[in-house]
């Protein structure tokens, strides 16, 4: 993905770390009791896919991303891109977070 901020140079390991972190958060946040974080496919569809997430889950993730990463997702069109899959979500967070990723 193109990234004018230059953060795309971030090491792959950092991105992998963010994706792992998000997996844990999503399982916890959305009460996905039957799913282990590592079972989530970072490139698989989040909504309507195996996870059976819906629009309310998206709202919870919007709030979580704003609260934990300071990244706001203001409209539905952007949301559709960001929540396409976990990799897209992580990339958007990495590209837009105001501070360094931990």
Taking the complex as a whole, how short is the minimal distance between the CB of residue 12 and another protein, in angstroms?
Answer: 30
Question: Is there a contact between 79 and 88 (Cβ–Cβ < 8 Å)?
Answer: no
Q: Is 16 in the site for another protein (CB under 8 A)?
A: no
Q: Is 66 in the site for another protein (CB under 8 A)?
A: yes
Taking the complex as a whole, how short is the minimal distance between the CB of residue 79 and another protein, in angstroms?
Answer: 9
Q: Is 60 in the site for another protein (CB under 8 A)?
A: yes
Distance CA 53, CA 83 (A): 10
Query: Is 73 in a helix, a strand, or coil?
Result: coil
Instruction: Give whichever of 8 and 50 is closer to another protein, judged by the CB atom.
Output: 50
Instruction: Give whichever of 78 and 102 is closer to another protein, judged by the CB atom.
Output: 78
Q: Encoding tokens for residue 87?
A: 């990799």
What region does 6 belong to: left with phi over 0, alpha with psi -120 to 50, or beta?
Answer: left
């Amino acid at each position: 993905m193109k990234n004018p901020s230059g953060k795309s140079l971030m090491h792959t390991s950092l991105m992998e770390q963010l994706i792992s972190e998000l997996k844990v958060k999503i399982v916890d946040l959305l009460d996905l009791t039957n799913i282990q974080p590592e079972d989530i496919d970072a490139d698989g569809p989040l909504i309507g896919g195996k996870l059976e997430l819906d629009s309310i889950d998206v709202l919870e993730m919007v709030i979580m991303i704003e609260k934990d990463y300071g990244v706001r997702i203001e409209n539905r069109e952007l949301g559709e891109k960001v929540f396409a899959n976990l990799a897209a979500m992580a990339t958007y967070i990495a590209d837009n977070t105001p501070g360094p990723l931990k």
